Amino acid sequence: MDPYKYRPSSAFNSPFWSTNSGAPVWNNNSSLTVGTRGPIMLEDYHLVEKIANFDRERIPERVVHARGASAKGFFEVTHDISHLTCADFLRAPGVQTPVIVRFSTVIHERGSPETLRDPRGFAVKFYTREGNFDLVGNNFPVFFIRDGMKFPDMVHSLKPNPKSHIQENWRILDFFSHHPESLHMFSFLFDDVGIPQDYRHMEGSGVNTYTLINKTGKAHYVKFHWKPTCGVKCLLDDEAVMVGGANHSHATKDLYDSIQAGNYPEWKLFIQTIDPDHEDKLDFDPLDVTKTWPEDIIPLQPVGRLVLNKNIDNFFAENEQLAFCPGVVVPGIYYSDDKLLQTRIFSYSDTQRHRLGPNYLMLPANAPKCAHHNNHHDGFMNFLHRDEEVNYFPSRYDPVRHAERFPIPPRICTGKREKCVIEKENNFKQPGERYRSFDPDRQERFIKRWFDALSDPRVTHEIRSIWISYWSQADKSLGQKLATRLNVKPSM
């Protein structure tokens, strides 16, 4: 009997109840007791197995992005960018690659409402012929911080107070008052786009800077952008209260129902590219995730389209056990020295090893769909069928060899060991430009949200003054309006 062929699957369901080991269960309603009313016997194996499995149905939720929904579909190349990358799945227009996508909120728990003001995750797993590529991003093109060293503290400040278990503005404003780099992200989060109407009507961004490499080894920095074909729609604060009060899973339901009805969500993929040799011409560091690349200087280039045309078969298997990592790339796509990306390469896979176990990449949702071979084996929950005698490399008994060499960025790294910030911080220019792009009503809503946050009774006069100073440096009129309403003078 081939154990791989008959691995656990609902396709092999028995017409009668059985234990996990396959033995028939003649009574799935009553425990084995001593007499009709006596105590339950420990030898009731099926009862113990059933309860023990139930006790372990929940796995640790993600520390961030715990609340999410997934769907499957395909990515199709529409424009030739083979001059920029040798990635096989981008080799020519018309090429299609199966994908699975997970949307999520970031800070709040697995059962939290999907209408809270919070960034949204937008993660795409491409099942390519050369292995998986995980494009893990958000609905905003920037982030709060530029160095992963700050990430745990940042999340702690955004999470509920460990004493009261309530998310509180004073904690958030206190932490970020030390980090003016966060202003650009807050210009998105406190804007109308801070609460997407649903997952179908929001943009996505890779956020981090990656590198594309072509066949000759020429490298370009790249940012990825998803644009929904149905447009961007958001909920204003009062609308979010009504929608969330009626259904705390409204975005998950909308995604599922839309696909079920044949109204398939679709996004266009665009990229921006920079020749690394020209990066010094910019007034900001292109590897700084708190910055966007101005589209009038670095235009969007169309690449392809993403279509979600199939709902997942099982929420646990294809959403809770679905795992992404920015370190999962394919030949033709590589990392950059983006400090946040460098941290994420480790942290994402590490958290999944904690949540799902060391062999989480064997789970069907995470496993590559192409042939693959290595000597990573054994460990908790390893279910790969192996009958090889050689589990080392190299060996004259095993014909496996190195793959063909593919190019990676050729830059030479030099410098002394040191902990430092980037030289071109430029924290205030882009947030100010974004605020000035709003119409007057949108500016007023933005100001009101900041007024409400800074009015928290536990926000000190010092912290209010710092924030007003930050926003004054971004836009003088914005700072003045906040100062007037809060009766605080900015301390420039």
Annotated catalytic residue within 132, 138, 139, 319 = 138
Residue 172: C-alpha distances to residues 14, 139, 177, 178 (Å): 53, 20, 8, 11
DSSP 148: G
Neighbours of 368 (CB within 10 A): 16
Contact present, 274 and 293 (Cβ < 8 Å): yes
Is 348 part of any known ligand binding site? yes
Q: Two tokens at 84? A: 């920029």
Q: Is 382 a catalytic residue?
A: no
Cα distances (Å, whole numbers) of residue 370 to 127, 130, 299, 388: 8, 7, 34, 19
Alpha-carbon torsion 218, 221, 429, 269, what sign? positive
Q: Which of 46, 65, 184, 250 is catalytic?
A: 65
Exposure letters 280-301 (e unless 16+ CB within 10 A, then b): eebebbbbbbbbbbeeeebeee
Using CA atoms, how far apart are residues 124 and 342, in angstroms rounded to an integer?
Answer: 19
d(CA 36, CA 13): 32
End-to-end CA distance of the chain: 77
Q: Are 332 and 85 in contact (CB under 8 A)?
A: yes
Contact in structure between 189 and 119 (CB atoms under 8 Å): yes
28 is catalytic: no
Tokens of 114: 């999907």
Q: How far is CA 415 from the centre of its chain?
A: 32
Which amino acid, residue 472? S
Question: Would you list which residues are annotated within the binding site for heme?
Answer: 348
Question: Would you list which residues are annotated within the binding site?
Answer: 348
Active-site residues: which are they?
A: 65, 138
